[in-house]
Amino acid sequence: MNTKVKIAVVVGAGISGASICLALKKRNIQTILLDAEAGPAHHASGNPIGVVYPFLTKHRLAESEFSLAAFHYFLSVWEDFDLKSVVPHADGIYFLMDNPATYDRYSNAIKSHQIPVHVGCEKIEPYSGLPAIFFPQGKSVSPVNLTKQILRISNPETRYSCTLFSWEKSENKTNIICQTSEGKIHCDYLFLSQGYQFADDPHLNWLPLQKVRGQILKFPEQIPTNAHGILYGDYITSAIEGYQVLGATFDEYKLEETPREEESILLWQKLSKKLPNLSEPWGPQNPSLFPTRVSYRTQSQDRHPVVGKLPNISKLDLSVKYQNVLRNGKKQMEVPYFESVGILNGLGSRGLTHALFAAEILVSEMFAEERITSESISKSLRPDRFLLRMWKREQLT
């Protein structure tokens, strides 16, 4: 019997990396967490407040079923580890259905997904007087504290200010060697969750992931304050520790780090227009004076997370397609993998809701455990989906 202790390295101490650490802790895997920064949650996971609620589609799709299951999983972790006592938060999210298309989509989503009233129900949002879906257990939370608390529970060995430069299979192919700014680390499993910096890793730069700039505004709690977070195209969070957040403007093309004053003004104007009963009593405000934060989310081509064993594209047999053409065959492309390397990325603007469940799916698949979700959900998340599309479109030659 092989009794050697297995070691996993997780790269990235954002919400994704923290969630992987938790899934590994549940399986008693010795874990080393690396981050180039001096501590956790410095990048996308470093916003002061974010919102947690599920993404729904009119009809059941793998994407919405994953999101709903992820929301339930988030709530179970929240409960099991009593996170409500340690993570600053406020319960309740309203999602406004302020036009016929949104109303059609969300009111039908509640029915098609058979969402019970205690999870989500139609309700008038009091400040706008508009119909909304209310998620009583949805939350405004501090992503930084959430990440830190998940790490506290997972208790990995941490190596901060430590950058992963490269990684490769060892010569005898039994383990992986990570070359880092602090020297070499040998491990049995490697989990990659580098967020928007994925492209620095040559094993990942084929993935159709994109860095997207986001800007939010943080302002002192206003009176009267909205007890629940409200989404209306943009979003306003409930107050946490004396502050609220208004978000977010996104830009896929121009990515500068300096805040844009005009976007802060625009966010405030849209708030005044959509929720006048909330914001008028606050009196005139100068949003240019409120602190802004620019950060970057990572978005995949189909806006769905990337979760699974990593394909090894250097080993792809691209000749299959031509063999099929020549021999009129129907041979499928076989995807070769780095068997012990997993990826969790592309969480877009819903990382807080999705990361814990995505990590659980990833780790259970890597360890060939019984599936915890349907095959269609797992398939919709795997990185392979892009490879197959690229192969069909001749983008891999």
User: If binding is defined by CB under 6 A, does position 364 make contact with ligand FAD?
Assistant: no
**Residue 37 makes contact with ligand FAD by CB under 6 A:** yes
Residues 237 to 256 in contact with ligand FAD, rule: CB under 6 A? 247-248
Helix count and strand count (H, E) for the chain? 10, 18
DSSP-derived secondary structure for 156-210: -EEE-S--EEEEEE-TTSSSEEEEETTEEEEESEEEE--GGGGGGSTTTTTS-EE
Q: Which is nearer to ligand FAD, 126 or 259 (CB)?
A: 259
Work out which of 137, 353, 364, 373 binds ligand FAD, going by CB under 6 A: 353
Does 234 contact ligand FAD by CB under 6 A? no
Site string for ligand FAD, 152-181 (x = CB under 6 A): -----------xx-----------------
| String of contacts with ligand FAD for each residue 77-106, x by CB under 6 A | ------------------------------
DSSP type of residue 333:
P
Q: Is 17 a residue that touches ligand FAD (CB under 6 A)?
A: yes
Does residue number 197 form part of the binding site for ligand FAD (CB under 6 A)? yes
Distance, in Å, from the CA atom of 366 to the CA atom of 360, rounded to the nearest integer, reads: 10
User: Minimum CB separation from ligand FAD for residue 101, in Å?
Assistant: 22
Binding flag, residue 10, ligand FAD (CB under 6 A): no
**Shortest approach of ligand FAD to residue 391 CB, angstroms?**
26
The correct pick among 21, 33, 45, 119 for binding ligand FAD (CB under 6 A) is: 45
- What's the maximum distance between 2 C-alpha atoms anywhere in the chain? 75
Rounded to 5 degrees, φ, ψ at 73 are -65, -45
Distance CA 20, CA 342 (A): 10
Region near ligand FAD per CB under 6 A, out of 15-23, 129-137, 329-337, 388-396: 15-23
CA distances from 222 to 29, 234, 236, 284 (A): 46, 18, 11, 12
β-pair type (243-251, 234-236):
antiparallel
Interaction pattern, residues 58-77, with ligand FAD; x per rule: CB under 6 A = --------------------
CB of 290 closer than 8 Å to CB of 273:
no
Nearest to 234 by CA among 126, 40, 98, 141: 98
User: Under the rule (CB under 6 A), what is the footprint of ligand FAD?
Assistant: 11-17, 34-37, 42-45, 47, 50-52, 143, 163-164, 193-195, 197, 200, 214, 216, 247-248, 295-297, 345, 347-353
